[in-house]
Amino acid sequence: MPVTSRMDELRGDVSELARSATNSRDLMQRLCRLLHERMLKYNWVGFYMIEPGQPPMLALGAFVGAMTPHTRIPMNQGICGAAASSGQTVVVDDVSKDPRYLACSLETKSEIVVPVFAHGKVVGELDIDSHFPAAFTPEDRELVQHCAALVGKKLEASGQ
Ligand code: SME
């Protein structure tokens, strides 16, 4: 199947998942499983959610992949901190060249982090690592942003 129709099909399945998921936690878990299973280059897929406090921290939530030493990340550290504090998607084609990078696995070569917004505020993020360099194309960015947006909507719908 051509890449675009494979992506379109997955996008449809992701939207269906958002409709059928019972709550945001269920949606995040099932999204991690679906993306990890269906996208060969998505080798670690997980959510970090902002834990309010002084200082606020990113706390590891649902994920699929190897256990990471980074279960709590300060907002001013890592690619994860950069995406959450700026509210912008961050794509890193070669993590070894990015001084912000916090290593999770020696096999990771590239990474994408997309913030999750609820009621206009960043509440968490979807982080994906790949064993392949420059794995995240504009189509991947669009797919991952779609997933993050659906989680934001589900959080809003559940009053969070
Ligand atoms: N690489 C991330 C840390 C999280 S692990 O990849 C799962 C970062 O630089 O923030």
Q: What is the mean pLDDT of each run of 10 residues along the chain (160 residues)?
A: 82 95 96 97 98 95 96 97 98 98 94 98 98 97 97 90
Euclidean distance between CA atoms 91 and 93, whole angstroms: 6
Q: What is the DSSP letter of 40?
A: T
**CB of 61 sitting under 6 A from ligand 1:** no
Euclidean distance between CA atoms 21 and 28, whole angstroms: 9
Tokens of 125: 């993020």
The predicted pLDDT at position 6 comes to: 84
The predicted pLDDT at position 109 comes to: 98
**CB of 132 sitting under 6 A from ligand 1:** no
**Contacts for 70 with CB less than 8 Å, ≥ 6 apart:** 60, 78, 80, 102, 104
The predicted pLDDT at position 140 comes to: 97
Strand pairing report for 72-74 and 57-64: antiparallel
**CB of 84 sitting under 6 A from ligand 1:** no
Roughly how many angstroms between the first and final C-alpha of the chain, as a whole number?
A: 39
| Confidence (pTM) | 0.96
Other Cβ atoms within 10 Å of 50 Cβ, number: 19
The predicted pLDDT at position 158 comes to: 84
